[in-house]
Structure 1
Amino acid sequence: PDAARAYLDRLLVIGEIPSATALIARLMRNPALGYTVVGVCSPDSSRLGQPGVGTSVRVDDYEVPRWGDFDDVAAAVDECGATAVAVTSAEALGHEAMQELSWDLEGRDVEMLVAPGVTDVAGPRMMVRPVAGLPLLHIDKPRYEGANRFRKAALDRFGALSALLMLLPVMVVIAIAVKLDSRGPIFYRATRIGLNNAPFQMWKFRSMVTDADTLRPQIAALNEGAGVLFKVRDDPRVTRVGKFIRRYSLDELPQLFNVVGGSMSLVGPRPPLPDEVERYDGRVARRMLVKPGITGLWQVSGRSDLSWEESVRLDLSYVENWSIMQDLTILWRTVWAVARKDGAY
């Protein structure tokens, strides 16, 4: 990983600690975005220092060198060899300082980026328009109704029916294996909460012993789930066949019947349990503005390995920025995520 980072753009982050660390955390967790953070310039009094002295800011598992405050940016660029700078606190610098910074960077062949202070808003919803000489960022409202919902429903029904026809032989084999492996029904039906907090019965191939729900309190101490989620990596309730089909997400194939019936979508937020929804705050509850999905941004970004906060952020980002192209991209990425078995247990 360190060798790969040598080929990324070297980014110096300029801003107050809260906004700077938020950007640093995302970039360092996702080197595929093309940046490696080589330093930060911040006026935070608890981390004051001079360029090159060696003070640092800790972000997750990374120690990011601190190169002074806003007045030290030009010197910091030369010292750390930055090829780009990202300003996360433009309001703290002021418009004159921003202008002077762009002049300072002009002769250094360094790209200047400015974070607008909003997160998880897709490009098509944003437009920069100058007003009285000030570049203002205009953000369109999220759209959940009308033609968007009709196109999504059409994609769901067509995609689910096509998948059922292609995967029918596989589903028959799995059904036989589940039946022969352990006593109990082939399918497992569980109550989940869907669009506008309406409950529905979600179908899955049974991957646990028949009394798994009643055994849950006995293994509560093994819970590794984040936030309100309940997850156990080596769950003793899982059967032999269950371990295999869960590893490749084959247990979720019967959810295609839910999609055909209209209670779920091919792509959407993770379908939550009723007791999870009861603990949602107002922000998290926005996940329920669209139908839950068989797959989603959470599925292609780490699944059970994600923190609760990151799972919520991804679900809300999907809800706010839905588009047909995004759904198709997530479906394509799901194939690779399942093949790699990332975060599945």
Structure 2
Amino acid sequence: MDPLGTGDPLRLGPYRLLGVLGEGGMGKVYFGQDSAGATAAVKVLRPELAHDQNLAQRFVREAQMAQAVTSTGVARVLGAQTEGGRPWMATEFLTGPTLDQAVGAHGAFDETAVRALAAALARTLMDIHTAGLVHRDLKPANIVLTSAGPRIIDFGIARPEHGLTLTTTGQVPVTPGYGAPEQALGQRVGPPADVFSLGAVLVYAASGSPAFSGGHVAAVQYEVVHGEAQLGRVPAQLGPLIAPCLGKNPAFRPTPCQMATAFAPPRGAERIWRHGPLATDIKQRERTVRQLTTIVSGAGTAQRMSRRRLLTTLAVGG
């Protein structure tokens, strides 16, 4: 997390903004807190893009998509303002590293942890698909590992299964190496595309390396469409379970329900979120957030923390 910079708003709706969680081409995501002390991740469209009808439509759609999914495996939508000068959307703030951060810090997951991850994400995909949606951008950076398990975030390019895409010809709508072959080819996609993405995510979690690689985007996309997934570093017991998810023909991929059954972890596997190095990482982030919100909203000595220490706390919290 970075401190607010010049030009950043101090408040959006009921949320006082305390730091910057991230930013992209469309906008920024802030760490916010309302008057009751509840925290949120507040995404706002960049001011110079707010009048772009296509981007505004995509932003509104993201809010609507996320609200349609009531699964505990996604970040809940807390509020949205899509009218006016700066459309924003507030979602539940999830405390924990993303999957790519966790693998980078602690290494590849063991078999039991991969099974726990796979089963939880498959159940969440079931809920997303039951709501009539396709996520379309499942990747390690869109999976947050919390003390309650993995949660899927960012419905920025999600759309109804039978809806029309808002992307234009020539755009790459997903992160190369995680989008299904039919996405890379610009074809209509359905729930099997999310299964392909989940398979690629599990390869990364189990091996620490992507399922498809190349020297540039086009090379990676070529491998997705024509090449074979790199499963050499995946544990032998998991390879046969993951490989069908990465099939080129979406009709032959397993369903999320079948995946949840096939990857069923042994009893007690959920301890990965509560014990061990990953759990320690999560707990440290939870303590930092509690400390930050106490500093901002508390009374007495808690409010007298120096600006230098506050900025340091913000940085560590990210």
Which of structures 1 and 2 has the bigger CA Rg? 1
Normalised by the length of structure 1, the TM-score is 0.21
Higher relative contact order (CA 8 A, sep 6+): 2
* TM-score normalised by L of structure 2: 0.22
Higher normalized helix content (fraction of residues): 1
